[in-house]
Structure 1
Amino acid sequence: MEKNRKISSNSSLEILLREDLDAIRLNLVHLARKAADHAYAPYSNFRVGAAVVLEDGQTFWANNQENICFPVGVCAERILLGYTHANFPHLKPEILVIAALKSDNTGLATVTPCGLCRQSISEFEMKFKAPIEILMCRPDETLLRAEGIDQLLPYKFEDLNR
């Protein structure tokens, strides 16, 4: 066996300006930010909102829900994807937008999906055999864009079985 064997991955995110966004994406940003405003986060004050558009054009939004019994709380992305899949199991999520508010309420915080959410997003990409575009809001009003979960989770759990 060779000594210097390694597996490497290249990942990049695109930075988008608000003026780069079409009406659908602008609306999702608005909904994600609005959802974050209503998050239930009395313990961490880390409020996250997410919005999604399904392949038929329906939009939905959700926010994180904390619980005093950590780790019972649930992330916005998993609540949102779970709800849409439970109610519309045959409709593919196409674009997911995530927005987080700074704990001092001075504006947006840059946030990416946590590991549990990344694996959950991967599950839906696997089911629908298509990437989900992920937009993550930033304090300067730009967005980070991932073309799919591979850019945020290069070594997914399901990759271990290939």
Structure 2
Amino acid sequence: MKDIVFTSQITVFDTIQELPETIQNLIEKAIEVRKNAYAPYSKFRVGAAILLDNGEIVVGSNQENAAYPSGLCAERVAIFHAGAIYPEATILKMAITAASDNNKTDIAVPPCGSCRQAIAEYEVRQEAPIEIYFMGEIGAIHKSASLKNLLPFMFEKKLL
């Protein structure tokens, strides 16, 4: 028997102003698109913005449906849209921001498990890490240099 130890490195920024201007812009796009979320059931709005290597920014917001789980998270809306519109582009960075209609979200909200798996697929496919910045409505911003920090046991095509 042996133990396998994983370590993850997450960098925490106290304010948006501590980030490079390109990341501040990406977060602002995620905040803006968060307002377009269709979240009548959860009252939890999420926005995601993706920076591609061609300079394009693709956004997405969560879209709920009365027939759970037919809705889709912001991260998957954005990443699938990027894959459909710019299939040859490399995803460099992703910003995620979440807010509740019921209270101030002051804790950084990472991608859910399904979104982590979707992001993992793109990271493996493009053979390059995706920087992920995530936050609540207010408060600190967390940065992961790769999805592997958030999902060390990734399920990928080589396992099939």
Same topology, TM > 0.5: yes
Q: Distance in 1 between matches of 2:87 and 2:41?
A: 33
Q: In the TM superposition, what whole-angstrom CA distance separates every residue of 1:37-92 from its partner, at most 9, and x where no partner exists?
A: 22000001011000011001111211000000000000000010101111110001
TM-score using structure 2 length: 0.91
Aligned-residue offset at 1:119:
0.8
CA shift in 2, pair 1:43/1:139, >3 Å: closer
Decide which of 74, 77, 93 is 2:75's aligned counterpart. Answer: 77
Larger radius of gyration: 1
Match of 2:9 in 1: 12
Q: Distance in 1 between matches of 2:149 and 2:100?
A: 25
Match of 1:25 in 2: 23
Aligned-residue offset at 1:110:
2.4
Q: In the TM superposition, what whole-angstrom CA distance separates every residue of 1:21-41 from its partner, at most 9, and x where no partner exists?
A: 122111111111111122000
User: 1:36·1:48 contact (CA, 8 Å) conserved in 2?
Assistant: yes
Aligned-residue offset at 1:104:
1.6
Match of 1:149 in 2: 147
What is the DSSP-based 3-state SS (H/G/I as helix, E as strand, rest coil) of the residue aligned with 1:25? helix
Number of aligned pairs? 159
User: 2:38·2:62 contact (CA, 8 Å) conserved in 1?
Assistant: yes
Aligned-residue offset at 1:161:
3.0
Please tell me the residue identity of whatever aligns with 1:10: T
Give the % identical residues: 35
Please tell me the residue identity of whatever aligns with 2:98: A
TM-score using structure 1 length: 0.90
CA shift in 2, pair 1:107/1:11, >3 Å: closer
Q: Distance in 1 between matches of 2:68 and 2:3?
A: 37
User: 2:97·2:137 contact (CA, 8 Å) conserved in 1?
Assistant: no
Q: Which moved more, 1:31-40 or 1:102-111?
A: 102-111
User: 2:46·2:97 contact (CA, 8 Å) conserved in 1?
Assistant: yes
Residues 1-162 of structure 1 aligned to structure 2 (within 5 Å)? 2=1, 5-16=2-13, 17-104=15-102, 106=104, 109-158=107-156, 161=159
Over the aligned positions, Cα root-mean-square deviation in angstroms equals 1.9
User: 1:100·1:109 contact (CA, 8 Å) conserved in 2?
Assistant: no
